[in-house]
Chains A and B, each alone.
Chain A
Amino acid sequence: MLNCKEIIQTIRMIKDQHLDIRTITLHVSLFDCISDDPDRTALNVARKLADKAGNLKATADKIQSKYGIPIVNKRLSVSPVSLIGAASGGYRQIALAMDEVAKKVGVDFIGGYTALVQKSMTKEERDFILTIPEVLACTDRVCASVNVGSTRAGINMDAVALMGEVVKETARLTADLDSIGCAKLVVFANAVEDNPFMAGSFNGVSEGDCVVNVGISGPGVVKAALEQIRGESCDVLSETIKDTAFKITRMGELVGREAAAELGAEFGIVDLSLAPTPVRNDSVGEVLEEMGLSVVGAHGTTACLAMLNDAVKKGGTMASSHVGGLSGAFIPVSEDIGMIEAVRAGALSLEKLEAMTSVCSVGLDMIAIPGSTSAATVSAIIADEAAIGVINNKTTAVRVIPVWGKNSGDVEFGGLLGHAPIMPVGKGNADAFIARGGRIPAPIHSYKN
């Protein structure tokens, strides 16, 4: 029998601490939509998505009402479009079909405008990547991602160089909206195939036909739990985080299984990531400060984040039969009030954020940088992050926004994407290094130091 204290604890988590299901993402395979005719492929894609996702919003609303837990986003994710459109070359038509279905079925983002080029790039994949800026400019809900490195393959530096250009061109084409197109473009190393979070979600080639993956949230819940144990040792800190992560994840599992059954889909995974929003008490930055930092970005931040990330994983893995996705703590600057304030106060730099990405998921995320930053420097930022991921056998990513025509001040992206102060990039350049191209070989796995 449940007791009052437990019931009140759950209600408080939802009511006061912003506990919610961040996203129910329906992953759909598009391999049966391929044809050599661009229009026919796009039509097949539209039909399949409308068929599979027609009930997504109604299902989410029903579960939300049954359990009284907010389900913030309903999303779609598809097989990498670089593969689906290769036979016809109709990448743009597929993107337009995806955007239209997303609007029709009421999902805010659809991921999977994706290429996996960690080892090498075919001519078709290069052609595909070159369509990304225009597609992000002429669609509203399509998200793109490109995987440029992996621990097994090394880093494809030709792709890294190309992505610097693509990020800059996307910024230029969406200049009138503070380069918002770049907020829908992620460059990965070691991308995962079952990530439900945008903008980097896609349905991996080894995934099923129709799979429900769930992303949970809960930085506010962790912060509230830590407020009760101020001054206690790191052992207590870690146990408290684990305990909280367990409870949050159990709820994600319940919702994911029910959504999958209702939609006639397979239940995939729960992604344990602590995902912040730009409101107070829903911030990973604030959790880190509650752990004992005067401000996020201070010395000690990397250690706190490492413990937080690890404890979340330990608590969550026991709570769910299948954990996957990115699973850790996100540190997107523009989407986290604690991070935004730390940047404004001059306490958090790009260099410190880079160090933090070596111990958490995912990478340099939602960071506005000066519009004058060169394509080669964007590529160099991508190369640095990819190196951290490839050497440490973890996922890393870059989602930076070189705000066209602006070099300082604040930019507003709106909604969950939040707002961010433009952060300066490092002095000097890596132009000659990026111009080399080729491939950084896969790392050795012995003699680790």
Chain B
Amino acid sequence: MKAIVSVIGRDRTGIIAKVAYKLYEMDINIEDISQTVMQDTYFTMIMMISVRDDGPAIGEINAALQSVAAELGVEIRVQHEDIFNSMHRI
């Protein structure tokens, strides 16, 4: 299963490191990563992750990342890739 992790918020040090470490703890592989900083402060990071069939459910990954989100003061979402594919691909 593939999912998209999105992080939106004010830029600061350690965002990628902390999110990636939490995913590593759950044995989740990061396949792709991109980030932009808009208007010098607004940070957006998108990660494509792959989760093994016997791995955690999206709800669990999301819950685990919320502690990182609170610590960093950013918004983090985890969503199955199909919602994006259904909307943007025919």
Q: Which A residues form the contact surface with B (CB < 8 A)?
A: 1-2, 4, 6-11, 15, 62, 65-69, 247, 250-251, 253-254
CA distance A285 to B76 in the complex (A): 32
What are some 26 contacts across the A-B interface (CB < 8 A)? Answer: A1-B32, A2-B48, A2-B81, A2-B84, A2-B88, A4-B36, A6-B88, A7-B84, A9-B88, A10-B84, A10-B87, A10-B88, A11-B8, A15-B75, A65-B58, A66-B80, A67-B80, A67-B83, A68-B78, A68-B79, A69-B79, A251-B83, A251-B87, A253-B86, A254-B83, A254-B86
- Nearest-CB residue, chain A, relative to B85: A2
Are A6 and B84 in contact, CB atoms less than 8 angstroms apart? yes
The interface residues of chain A lying within 8 Å CB-to-CB of B57 are 65-66
CB distance from A148 to the nearest CB of B (A): 39
Top 5 A-B residue pairs of the complex, sorted by shortest distance between their CB atoms:
A68-B79, A65-B59, A67-B83, A254-B86, A6-B88
Please provide the chain B residues from 45 to 87 with a CB less than 8 Å away from any CB of chain A in the complex: 46, 48, 57-59, 62, 75, 77-87
Q: How far is the CA of A253 from the CA of B32 in the complex (A)?
A: 27
Task: Tell me if B86 and A251 are in contact (CB < 8 A).
Answer: yes
Contact A66 B59 (CB under 8 A): yes
Contacts A65-B59, A247-B88 given: A10-B83 contact, CB under 8 Å?
yes
> How many Å from the CB of B17 to the closest CB on chain A?
20
Q: Which residues of A lie under 8 Å from residue B8 when comparing CB positions? A: 11
CB distance from A317 to the nearest CB of B (A): 14
Which residues from chain A contact B58 at a C-beta distance below 8 Å? 65-66
Known contacts being A65-B62, A250-B87, A251-B86, is A11 close to B80, with CB within 8 Å? no
Contact A67 B82 (CB under 8 A): yes
CB-CB < 8 A to A8: which residues of B?
A: 6, 44, 46
B: number of interface residues (CB 8 Å): 26
Q: How far is the CA of A8 from the CA of B43 in the complex (A)?
A: 12
Query: Is B4 at the interface (CB under 8 A from chain A)?
Result: yes
A68, B86: Cβ atoms closer than 8 Å: no
Whether A7 and B6, one on each chain, are in contact in the complex, defined by CB atoms closer than 8 angstroms, is yes
Question: In the bound complex, what is the Cα–Cα distance between A68 and B75 (angstroms)?
Answer: 13
Q: A7-B6, A250-B86 are known contacts; what are 15 more A-B pairs with Cβ within 8 Å? A: A1-B32, A4-B46, A6-B88, A7-B4, A8-B44, A8-B46, A10-B88, A11-B8, A65-B59, A67-B82, A69-B79, A251-B83, A251-B86, A254-B83, A254-B86
